C-alpha cells in the first residue's frame, strides 16, 4: 500500500434493511478508535437505506455512496429510477457505476459514460467498475477489454480526479476466486498508466482468507467488498488484518 489511506468500500448489493443498519454500530465504534487517516470507509447500501444510513453516519468519518443511478441530468418520468441529484441531496458523496452486474442487465459503455458525466456534474465521486469475463481472460484479452471499458466509459472526461477505478474480474465476483497477486499488480499498473492520477482498487471475493495476499500488492489503493461487507465482524476483521 503506497497511499496515505486505504479505501474499503462496502457494496451491499440488493441486501439489507433497517434492522441490518444496527450491525453498523460495531463498525462506527471501530473506526473511531482506528488510526486516523489510515482508512477511508464508504458504505454503498441499496437506495432504500441511503437516507437512514446517512443519518447514522452523520457524525462519523464514514462516507455514503449509492450503487447506481439513472443517466439523465434532469428529473423525469422514469419509474423506478433515481438520478445523481437525488443521490447527492440525500447526503451521499459517491456512486458506483459500471458494475458488471448492471452491465449484464444491458448497460453499455456509452450509457455508463453518460452516467459518469452527469454524476460528476452533480458533484458526486465515481467508483467506476471495470473487469473481464473468464472467457476473455482465457483468450488473453484482459488488457484489451479493460482498455476499451476505460476509453469508452471515461470518454470526454478530462478531469479524472473524482474517479476511483475498481478492477473487478467478473469471474472473481462472489466466486471465492481471485487472480494471482502478480496478475493483479500487473493489471493495476496497466490501469494506472492509462488513467493517470486515479486511485485503483481491487474487488472480487475479498475475504479474511485472501486479504493477506491482497494487502501485499503495493499498487492497490484499497478494496471494493461485496459479500464480506454485509457482516460487520468480517468487514472489521478484513480491515484489521490489512494493517497487521
Give residues in contact with ligand PGA (CB under 6 A): 11, 168, 173-174, 203-206, 224-228
In angstroms, rounded to a whole number, what is the distance separating the alpha carbons of residues 62 and 51? 14
Residue 70 annotated to the active site: no
Closest chain position to ligand PGA (CB): 226
Contacts for 165 with CB less than 8 Å, ≥ 6 apart = 128, 129, 130, 150, 191, 195, 198, 199, 200, 201
The active-site residue out of 101, 107, 132, 168 is: 168
Residue 107 annotated to the active site: no
Q: Which is nearer to ligand PGA, 29 or 212 (CB)?
A: 212
The active-site residue out of 70, 99, 101, 132 is: 99
Q: Which is nearer to ligand PGA, 85 or 99 (CB)?
A: 99
Minimum CB–partner distance for residue 11 and ligand PGA (Å): 4
Minimum CB–partner distance for residue 204 and ligand PGA (Å): 5
DSSP per-residue string spanning 90-148: TT--EEEES-HHHHTTT--HHHHHHHHHHHHHTT-EEEEEE---HHHHHTT-HHHHHHH
Identify the DSSP state of 35: P
Other CB atoms within a 10 A radius of the CB of residue 131 amount to 25
Q: Which is nearer to ligand PGA, 85 or 205 (CB)?
A: 205
**C-alpha angle with apex 221: 149 to 169, nearest 5 degrees?**
40
Q: Which is nearer to ligand PGA, 123 or 176 (CB)?
A: 176
Residues 106, 68: contact at Cβ < 8 Å? Answer: no
Minimum CB–partner distance for residue 19 and ligand PGA (Å): 21
Minimum CB–partner distance for residue 127 and ligand PGA (Å): 9
| DSSP-assigned beta bridge partners for residue 127 | 96, 164
In angstroms, rounded to a whole number, what is the distance separating the alpha carbons of residues 63 and 164? 14
Q: Which is nearer to ligand PGA, 21 or 208 (CB)?
A: 208
| DSSP-assigned beta bridge partners for residue 40 | 7
Minimum CB–partner distance for residue 203 and ligand PGA (Å): 4
Active site residues: 99, 168
Amino acid at each position: 500500500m503506497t497511499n496515505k489511506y486505504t479505501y474499503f468500500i462496502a457494496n451491499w448489493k440488493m441486501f439489507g434493511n433497517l434492522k441490518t443498519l444496527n450491525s453498523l454500530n460495531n463498525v462506527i465504534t471501530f473506526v473511531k478508535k482506528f488510526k486516523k487517516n489510515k482508512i477511508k470507509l464508504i458504505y454503498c447500501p441499496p437506495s432504500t437505506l441511503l437516507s437512514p444510513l446517512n443519518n447514522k453516519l452523520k457524525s462519523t468519518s464514514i462516507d455514503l455512496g449509492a450503487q447506481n443511478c439513472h443517466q439523465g441530468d434532469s428529473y423525469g418520468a422514469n419509474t423506478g429510477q433515481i438520478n445523481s441529484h437525488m443521490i447527492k441531496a440525500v447526503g451521499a458523496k459517491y456512486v458506483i457505476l459500471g458494475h458488471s452486474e448492471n452491465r449484464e442487465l444491458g448497460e453499455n459503455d456509452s450509457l455508463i459514460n453518460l452516467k459518469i458525466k452527469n454524476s460528476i456534474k452533480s458533484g458526486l465521486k465515481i467508483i467506476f467498475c471495470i473487469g473481464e469475463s473468464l472467457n476473455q481472460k482465457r483468450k488473453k484479452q484482459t488488457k484489451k477489454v479493460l482498455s476499451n471499458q476505460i476509453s469508452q466509459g471515461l470518454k470526454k472526461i478530462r478531469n479524472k480526479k473524482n474517479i476511483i477505478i475498481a478492477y473487478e474480474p467478473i469471474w472473481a465476483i462472489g466466486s471465492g476466486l481471485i487472480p494471482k497477486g502478480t496478475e493483479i499488480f500487473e493489471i493495476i499498473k496497466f490501469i494506472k498508466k492509462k488513467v493517470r492520477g486515479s486511485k485503483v482498487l481491487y474487488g472480487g471475493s475479498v475475504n479474511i482468507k485472501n486479504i493477506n495476499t491482497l494487502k501485499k500488492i503495493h499498487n492497490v489503493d484499497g478494496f471494493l467488498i461485496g459479500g464480506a461487507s454485509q457482516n460487520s465482524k468480517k468487514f472489521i476483521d478484513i480491515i484489521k488484518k490489512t494493517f497487521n
